[in-house]
């Protein structure tokens, strides 16, 4: 593939400045201005050179960055290319939050504010080199008796993310055509209820091989598979929307080298796990020319909960799906569900499976633990934007143990119980009864009562 390479010719400003100064042809302020200009030119050229070198290197090692060897030798210290890719995909997920309309008076309430063609431009990712091809909606199917006041009907789909594909130019830099799926986290009240449905149920995503030992959280599965069947022109399920578009894109670019990258935060991480498993279980990522080869499927999970049991994890690994979980050690959501019965309690003496092993929640994939918070503020420990900003501050030359970023609380030095009480008062407001369906209430309850 032919490429156009642009060379910038920069004059030897230092030599000219020095010569002019020695001959006293220029006053000192003008000389200083020329030297500053030359410095900025050199810095710009260095940035261009570093970017070009990074793109060329990424194009050669992209399979390793996508988890070919389970990120071996890339985690400690954190590889600079891997860090940049984590941040890049995190910003694609952050775009979902920036574009999500939370204004009850808006016609686009609980949907995306922008059209597909302008989404990335509007959220500051206009130069990302990706084009959005489809919006994804999910329908939480939960029957609540009695109904909760001010809660939208369960049969109404909400915008949860989008599918995008890399352009020709971006694909050349990446070394492959990247099909990217991005999911936001929990926002609406019904979605919080979905998170609290912690019973395990067989996934049954492949009708020919039900695999009853592969179990996932019932709420996440409902969000992924439920549709608007009660409405005449209702939306298909989140799963059906994704299957249709991914199949179309895989067929469209079947003659190219491809990757499927799925990124999500919080609840979106759970949807990313289910989507990755579904694609691989159905064999959608099999290469047409070589049935034994598969398009690599990678999940970048930010602050994600556990999704399934040990059978789910085992099948995940058999299918070759790669998962990199970026978590904060103080984030309570990453400890749910399965606060007590999880991968740490299912085996006795590292040898014997206990009877309840198949009913324990288990994390999937490789964990990148970032313990950079020194405070109890629940509004920060789970925020995706905080994850990304602090990853940007991380010096790749240092080990993860040296990531000593202190986020100091500005609260008074008071005891922990008083902090909890003040937290609930802030949530309730003056003279108000507790709204147990409030996302802030639920999050505060989970972080301070169930976890800490």
Enzyme catalytic residues: 266, 331, 382
Torsion sign, CA atoms 175, 68, 283, 281: negative
Element (H, E) at 219: helix 218-225
Q: Among 441, 440, 313, 361, which residue's Cα sits nearest to residue 197?
A: 361
Count other Cβ atoms within 10 Å, centred on residue 137: 20
Count other Cβ atoms within 10 Å, centred on residue 419: 15
**CA atoms lying within 13 Å on the CB side of residue 264:** 28
Count other Cβ atoms within 10 Å, centred on residue 198: 16
In whole angstroms, give the CA distance from residue 265 to residue 185.
5
Burial of 385 (0-12, 13-18, 19+ CB in 10 A): middle
Element (H, E) at 324: strand 322-328
Hey, is 213 helix, strand or coil? coil
């Amino acid at each position: 593939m032919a490429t156009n390479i642009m060379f910038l010719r920069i004059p030897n400003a230092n030599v000219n400045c020095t010569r002019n100064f020695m001959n006293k042809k220029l006053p000192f302020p003008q000389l200083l201005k020329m030297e500053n200009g030359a410095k900025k030119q050199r810095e710009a050229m260095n940035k261009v050179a570093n970017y070009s070198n990074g793109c060329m290197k990424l194009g050669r090692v992209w399979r390793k960055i996508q988890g070919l060897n389970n990120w071996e030798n890339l985690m400690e210290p954190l590889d600079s290319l891997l860090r940049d890719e984590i941040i890049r995909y995190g910003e694609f997920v952050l775009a979902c939050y920036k574009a999500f309309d939370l204004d009850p008076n808006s016609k686009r309430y609980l949907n995306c504010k922008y059209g597909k063609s302008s989404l990335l431009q509007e959220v500051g990712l206009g130069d990302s080199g990706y084009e959005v091809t489809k919006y994804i909606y999910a329908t939480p199917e939960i029957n609540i008796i009695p109904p909760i006041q001010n809660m939208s009907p369960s049969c109404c789909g909400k915008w949860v993310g989008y599918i995008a594909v890399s352009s020709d130019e971006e694909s050349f830099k990446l070394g492959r055509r990247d099909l990217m799926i991005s999911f936001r986290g929990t926002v609406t009240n019904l979605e919080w209820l979905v998170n609290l449905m912690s019973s395990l149920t067989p996934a049954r995503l492949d009708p020919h091989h039900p695999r009853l030992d592969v179990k996932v959280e019932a709420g996440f599965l409902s969000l992924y598979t439920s549709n608007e069947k009660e409405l005449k022109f209702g939306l298909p399920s989140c799963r059906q929307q994704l299957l249709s578009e991914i199949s179309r894109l895989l067929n469209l670019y079947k003659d190219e080298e491809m990757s499927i990258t799925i990124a999500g935060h919080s609840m979106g991480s759970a949807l990313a796990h289910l989507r990755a498993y579904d694609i691989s279980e159905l064999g959608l990522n099999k290469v047409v020319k070589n049935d034994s080869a598969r398009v690599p499927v990678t999940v970048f999970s930010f602050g994600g909960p556990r999704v399934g049991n040990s059978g789910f994890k085992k099948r995940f690994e058999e299918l070759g799906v790669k998962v990199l979980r970026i978590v904060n050690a103080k984030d309570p959501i990453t400890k749910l569900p399965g606060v007590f019965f999880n991968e740490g309690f299912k085996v006795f003496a590292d040898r014997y499976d206990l009877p309840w092993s198949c009913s324990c929640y288990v994390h999937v994939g490789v964990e990148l633990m970032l313990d950079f918070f020194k405070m109890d503020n629940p509004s920060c420990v789970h925020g995706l934007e905080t994850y990304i900003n602090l990853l940007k501050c991380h010096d790749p030359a240092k080990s993860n143990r040296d990531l000593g970023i202190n986020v100091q609380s500005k609260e008074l030095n008071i005891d922990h119980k008083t902090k909890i009480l003040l937290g609930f008062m802030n949530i309730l407001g003056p003279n108000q009864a507790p709204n147990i369906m409030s996302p802030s209430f639920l999050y505060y309850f989970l972080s301070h009562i169930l976890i800490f």
